[in-house]
Chain A
Amino acid sequence: MLNNFPLWPDQASTMASRVDALYIFLLLVTGAMALLVFACVAFFAARFRHRPGVRAEQIEGSNALEITWSAIPFLIFMAIFGWGAFVFFQERTPPADAAEVYVVAKQWMWKVEHAEGQREINELHVPVGRDVKLIMTSQDVIHSFYIPAFRIKQDVLPGRYTVEWFRATKPGVYHLFCAEYCGTQHSGMVGSIVVQQPADYEAWMNGASTGPLSASGEKIFAELGCSTCHRSDTQGRGPNLQGVFGKPVQLDDGRTVTADENYLRESILDPGSKRVKGFQPIMPTFQGLVSEEQVNDLVAYIKAISLSKPINGAKTSANRAVSGDSSDTEGQTPPLPSGSKVQ
């Protein structure tokens, strides 16, 4: 598992080389600065060591020097800041068409649900060359989903979703760590990321599956009676949920918010806090009635009916892309997985 270069972590995602480039730049710049300082100190200490009869020369200071050694470091700092911010931006902006994986953290394990329905514990299988977006939440305390070989990390919070994404570039098995201290078995909350060639991945995919998340979501949607209010016509007491995901929503208090995953989640668990304009506050809260996994299923379902026109949870956009259905070229569907696109 170790690369041929010891003391250096594997580079297995598109982000890894970008972070490493910045890191090496910083090593060089700060190394040069440190060497400069140390060389001056060492040279002065040797050259001006005390000799009997030789007195120190008093120097008050020099504004020109002070300005120089404030301005130059400042410029260097700004370069570092800018570059760091740039990389961060990429880290924080998942491509719109990434495949989605739901992650639920709990003391002390990772539960992973692929949009297609595969469930894993402390493992995550992904194909090479494919953008994957993790939609994560925690059942209890704060955890952090860390894959050193991908150079990505994101805290996983209870009560909301956080998101991170990557595109794996090298098949292999990589460490998954929980990086935020979460209690007794924090150091046991580790697992593996299995990056596979698309063909292997598909073979794995076709193994046992309980059906897509959106399908379970559809079932729950009916069981909990959501569908009594949210109907696909305009007769319901609640808004029609088709096409809501990703769109701006006008709220009763005048604000407009984008219906992202967190919004859907909040609408289910805490409907009162953001009320859609023109509707009565009649939706009951489902806090405590649904598990984190069920919320994920519902969110996946609502997203599915937003993204693809025919509402039959069995065939979601995400599902189609993974199974290699290349006929769908619409903007919202993910690109093809292709082993040859490994960078």
Chain B
Amino acid sequence: MQNEAGADGLTAVHEHHGEAHAAHNPALLHHFAAPEQQRDAASLGMWVFLATEIMFFGGLFCAYLVYRRWYFPSFAAASKSMDAGLGATNTAVLICSSLTVVLAVWAAQTARRTLLIGSLILTMIFGLAFLGIKGKEYRDKFEEHHVPGVSFSFENVPVPGHPGEYANPRHAQIFFALYFVMTGIHALHMIVGLGIFAWLLTMSWKGRFSPQWHTPIEIGGLYWHFVDIIWIYLFPLLYLIDRHA
């Protein structure tokens, strides 16, 4: 562990790592000088990671934008075939989960163990509910043959607001392709989030967090909120194209 000698007289005994801080904070890694530095690094790290996530979804939004401009009537028709009620419900579910996340962070800051654990459990329940509803929507789409591929069928679906006009199945298929990729990747993020929260829950259960140190809850929360924000955009983009009429 210890480096006794440099090449020259600069040598000094390296302060044994962590011991001084270990009393408050067993989690301080010893390449950090202070807990604040460690927490700031973690939080910046998560923000930077979220920036990469924006670009990750950005590629999909780009594809979506291109085809929505091109194939607007079919996109509108396809969007209309979605169950916007379920979509809105899911949005509400995620918003509730964001509330419980923020409560969890607050509980950790103020050392409210029961609230902390309760909020984390609620968050996970909301997350599972979201995935359940999503699963049902996927099943519906499957049954309606709206899943792109050989069995895809979208014949004679009228274009909203244009009587007598029908969606082009090929264009609608692109909509559904984007729908499944976008929501699928979003759901994947939810599943990862659930994993993170399961871990946070065990940590909280074991009493690892304190008002001095609860960085994992904070940055886990940032991640969860971000996934929520993505959905906030996916909902109108996928479910609410030209719904009137």
A273/B70 in contact, CB under 8 A: yes
Residues from chain A with a CB closer than 8 A to the CB of B70 are 273
Cβ–Cβ contact A273 & B164, under 8 A = no
How far is A163 from B171 in the complex, measured between Cα atoms in Å? 26
Q: Write the nearest CB–CB distance from B174 to chain A, whole angstroms.
A: 12
Residues of A near B79 (CB, < 8 A) are none
The answer, yes or no, to whether A272 is at the interface (CB within 8 Å) is yes
The answer to whether A270 touches B164, judged by C-beta atoms less than 8 angstroms apart, is no
Q: Which of B162, B166, B168 makes the CB contact (< 8 A) with A273?
A: B168
Q: Tell me the complex Cα distance, A273–B174, Å.
A: 14
Q: CB distance B164 to A272 under 8 Å?
A: no
State whether the Cβ of A281 lies closer than 8 Å to any Cβ in chain B: yes
Does B165 sit at the interface, judged by CB under 8 A? yes
Chain B residues near A273 (CB-CB < 8 A):
70-71, 168, 171
Within 8 A of A (CB), among B205-229: none
* Interface range for B: under 10
A272 to B164, CA, bound (A): 12
Bound-state CA distance A71–B4 (Å) is: 55
Instruction: Sort A-B residue pairs by CB-CB distance and give the 10 closest, nearest first.
Output: A281-B165, A272-B168, A280-B164, A281-B164, A273-B168, A273-B71, A270-B168, A281-B166, A272-B165, A272-B166
Chain B, range 161-188, C-beta contacts under 8 Å to A: 162, 164-166, 168, 171
Which residues of A does B touch, CB under 8 Å? 252, 270, 272-273, 275, 280-281
Which residues does chain B contribute within 8 Å of A275, judged by CB atoms?
165
The interface residues of chain B lying within 8 Å CB-to-CB of A272 are 73, 165-166, 168
In the bound assembly, the distance between CA atoms of A270 and B164 in angstroms comes to: 17
Q: How far is the CB of B74 from chain A (nearest CB, A)?
A: 8
Residues on the A chain within 8 Å of B71, using CB: 273
Q: Cα distance A252–B162 when bound, in Å?
A: 10
8 contacts between A and B (CB under 8 A): A252-B162, A270-B168, A272-B165, A272-B166, A273-B168, A280-B164, A281-B164, A281-B165
Q: Which residues of A are found within 8 Å of B166, using beta-carbon distances?
A: 272, 281
A-B contacts besides A270-B168, A273-B71, A275-B165, 12 pairs, CB < 8 Å:
A252-B162, A272-B73, A272-B165, A272-B166, A272-B168, A273-B70, A273-B168, A273-B171, A280-B164, A281-B164, A281-B165, A281-B166
For A280, the chain B residues whose CB sits under 8 A away are 164
Distance in Å: Cβ of B119 to nearest Cβ of chain A: 49
Interface string of B44-59 (1 = CB under 8 A from A): 0000000000000000
Residue of B nearest to A275 (CB): B165
CA gap between A248 and B66 in the complex, in Å: 24
Q: Taking the nearest CB of chain A, how far is it from the CB of B155, in angstroms?
A: 12
